């Protein structure tokens, strides 16, 4: 056998090995992408942004490193695990969540709270309509006036104190109203304090806030 023939054979063997390794690497990545990684569809709604990334090292809900940030529907592939998601948007309070991705998942923006500035602006706009809806309560008896008014969540919940003309004789009361289909109605009678189990349809954060103001 000539040395040239031996070298050619060896080169062919090395070439075949390189191609085999290359194919294995390709196969590994394709396999991992298709079988191990999960499909995650991000669907931001109402002009919001969804940002997803690695959790911080302490396992909290802070974002360590952004993987994707989108304002339009998009699909990404992620390894199974726990991720942090930040929902945000103009006029909305940002909300951090944690998600454990073990299968194909769709993530949609939940109803986000409006910012205080936006709620205050809405209150100015809806104040007359709210006062009219509570007129039966405020006009009865002792000349109560609405005080410490506040809107909550998406501007569809309202609570206020009812301050009597003579607070030495009459109690300072509280009232909650709700906007549904564009119309405000009283969600509670006027009461000194609200027990959460008496009003299961009212978000408990609204009751806690007005009870403790």
Partner 1 sequence: MAITLIYSAATSNDLSDTLTVTEQQQEIAGGQNAVNAAEDIEKNAPAVVNLPAIDINYRIDSGASVKYPTRDGAVAIYIRATDAEGRQAALEWFGDNSYDVTDYEVIFVDAPKGVQ
* Nearest approach, Cβ of residue 26 and partner 1 (Å): 59
* Nearest approach, Cβ of residue 206 and partner 1 (Å): 10
How many amino acids of this chain bind partner 1 (CB under 8 A)? Answer: 30
Query: Of 13-21, 82-90, 148-156, 167-175, which part binds partner 1 (CB under 8 A)?
Result: 167-175
Residues 161 and 173: beta-carbon distance below 8 Å: yes
* Nearest approach, Cβ of residue 143 and partner 1 (Å): 10
32 binding partner 1? (CB under 8 A): no
Query: What is the chain's alpha carbon radius of gyration, rounded to the nearest angstrom?
Result: 30
213 binding partner 1? (CB under 8 A): no
Q: In whole angstroms, how far apart are CA 57 and each of 53, 67, 72, 96, 101?
A: 12, 16, 29, 16, 18
Nearer to partner 1, 157 or 194 (CB): 194
2 binding partner 1? (CB under 8 A): no
- Beta strands 81-89; 95-101: pairing state: antiparallel
Which of 56, 64, 106, 171 forms a contact with partner 1 (CB under 8 A)? 171
Nearer to partner 1, 76 or 153 (CB): 153
Closest of 174, 126, 109 to residue 148, by C-alpha: 174
Nearer to partner 1, 106 or 205 (CB): 205
Which of 93, 120, 142, 148 forms a contact with partner 1 (CB under 8 A)? 142
Which of 83, 87, 114, 144 forms a contact with partner 1 (CB under 8 A)? 144
Residue position matching structure tokens 């009283």:
186
145 binding partner 1? (CB under 8 A): no
Nearer to partner 1, 124 or 197 (CB): 197
Which of 57, 137, 147, 152 forms a contact with partner 1 (CB under 8 A)? 137
Please report, as ranges, the residues that interact with partner 1 according to CB under 8 A.
Answer: 136-137, 140-142, 144, 162, 164, 167-173, 189-198, 204, 207-208, 211-212
């Amino acid at each position: 056998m000539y040395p040239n023939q031996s070298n050619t054979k060896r080169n062919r063997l090395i070439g075949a090995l390189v191609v085999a390794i290359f194919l294995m690497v390709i196969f590994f990545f394709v396999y991992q992408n298709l079988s191990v990684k999960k499909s995650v569809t991000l669907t931001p709604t109402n002009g919001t942004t969804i940002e997803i990334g690695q959790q911080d090292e302490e396992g909290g809900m802070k974002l360590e490193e952004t993987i994707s940030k989108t304002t339009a529907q998009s699909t990404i592939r992620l390894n199974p695990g726990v991720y942090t998601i930040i929902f945000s948007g103009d006029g909305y309070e940002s909300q951090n969540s944690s998600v454990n991705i073990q299968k194909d998942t769709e993530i949609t923006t939940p109803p986000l709270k409006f910012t205080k500035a936006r709620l205050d602006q809405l209150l100015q706009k809806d104040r007359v309509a709210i006062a009219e809806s509570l007129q039966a309560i405020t006009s009865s008896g002792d000349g109560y006036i609405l005080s410490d008014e506040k809107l909550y969540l998406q501007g569809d919940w309202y609570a206020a104190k009812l301050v009597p003309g003579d607070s030495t004789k009459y109690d300072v009361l509280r009232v909650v109203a709700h906007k549904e289909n564009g119309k405000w109605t009283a969600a509670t009678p006027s009461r000194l304090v609200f027990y959460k189990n008496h009003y299961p349809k009212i978000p408990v954060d609204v009751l806690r806030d007005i009870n403790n103001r």
